[in-house]
């Protein structure tokens, strides 16, 4: 999984019918030091993530392993909202600070 920030959402009315009702979010990938990368993914949200949240997303066929995305054309799914993380004992990100 990788961590990214929810920076936007996608609205698409003409799409595969299996994507109907799915919430599509634009996620900008961050590295372990919380530095944004010039890399973006569109992911289906399975946990109720919101704008500016740092989230964890899974890619590839693993993304279809939720009750919400099973058998749907999806290769990225948000599976957790990150509260905090540390590296080498030092806190890098704290959501509630």
Residue 34's nearest CA partner among 95, 97, 93, 94 is 93
* Cα Rg of the chain, angstroms: 14
20 or 61, CB closer to other proteins?
61
In the list 19, 28, 47, 72, the residue contacting other proteins (rule: CB under 8 A) is 47
Contact flag: residue 41 with other proteins (CB under 8 A): no
21 or 48, CB closer to other proteins?
48
Rounded-to-integer distance, Cα 62 and Cα 77, Å: 8
Residue 13 Cβ vs other proteins, minimum distance, rounded to whole Å: 26
Residue 21's nearest CA partner among 47, 53, 45 is 45
Contact flag: residue 27 with other proteins (CB under 8 A): no
In the list 15, 51, 65, 73, the residue contacting other proteins (rule: CB under 8 A) is 65
């Amino acid at each position: 999984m990788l961590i990214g920030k929810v920076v936007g959402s996608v609205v698409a009315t003409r799409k595969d019918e299996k994507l109907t009702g799915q919430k599509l979010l634009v996620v900008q990938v961050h590295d372990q030091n919380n530095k944004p990368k010039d890399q973006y993914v569109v992911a289906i949200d399975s946990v109720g993530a919101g704008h500016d949240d740092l989230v964890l997303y899974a890619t590839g066929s693993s993304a279809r392993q939720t009750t919400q995305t099973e058998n749907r054309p999806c290769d990225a799914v948000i599976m957790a909202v990150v509260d905090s993380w540390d590296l080498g004992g030092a806190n890098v990100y704290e959501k509630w600070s």
